[in-house]
Amino acid sequence: QSALTQPASVSGSPGQSITISCTGTSSDVGGYNYVSWYQQHPGKAPKLMIYDVSNRPSGVSNRFSGSKSGNTASLTISGLQAEDEADYYCSSYTSSSTSYVFGTGTKVTVL
Amino acid sequence: QVQLQQWGAGLLKPSETLSLTCAVYGGSFSAYYWSWIRQPPGKGLEWIGEIDHSGSTNYNPSLKSRVTILIDRSNNQFSLKLISVTAAETAVYYCASRISGAAAGNWFDPWGQGTLVTVSS
């Protein structure tokens, strides 16, 4: 199974909005509303930020939102803050192997 | 609130067997799938496989021939064994959970703290 494709890096100034894309196929992202997003700070375990494309777990800031169109899912961070600087990974269920696949990861830099 | 704590050997030689254990605290042990995920240094995440409370497993096809995930219901623990490791499998290995049952979730939360396993001769 191939990893989902994400941009290597995205940057923005404090207060701005940024969007991270996650591109897969009809066997994963496009075929199911089972995309999740994780934030990972250096040396830490990933933290769930979005599940089932657009749902936020309790305790996650409403500055984080998710969406999907076709085979591409997106994570938008609005009102960018210094604490948002981290790596972000998408994940999706894949029917090609009845398993889970992660994205290549995106480093978000707050300028 | 489920919490996961993991441990295991951190240094292996090529061809040896990787063995990690993850203990589950809080929540219902039978209400989740228990997963292992790894991350090579500076690289992305890779799903290894999972087990449910009945012992039913599902593995990443690329690792299936070398992976075993077991469950210990009496101690609320699950474990990972990966045979014949190579240097390329040096990574931080995480345990994680996924809700099972009628409200099954397709996301991983929470995660263990991670264990760095280095494979080197």
Tens of pLDDT, residue by residue over A34-47, are 999 999 999 999 99
Mean pLDDT of A66-83: 98
pLDDT at residue B8, rounded to an integer: 96
Q: How far apart are CA A77 and CA A81, in angstroms?
A: 9
Mark out chain B residues that contact chain A at CB-CB < 8 A.
37, 43-47, 49, 58-62, 94, 105-114
Q: Are strands B18-25 and B32-39 parallel, antiparallel or unpaired?
A: unpaired
Asked if B107's CB is within 8 angstroms of A48's CB, the reply is yes
CA distance A57 to B76: 25
What value does the CA radius of gyration of chain A take, rounded to a whole number of Å? 13
Which of A22, A40, A95, A100 would you mutate first to test chain B, the one with the most B CBs within 10 A? A100
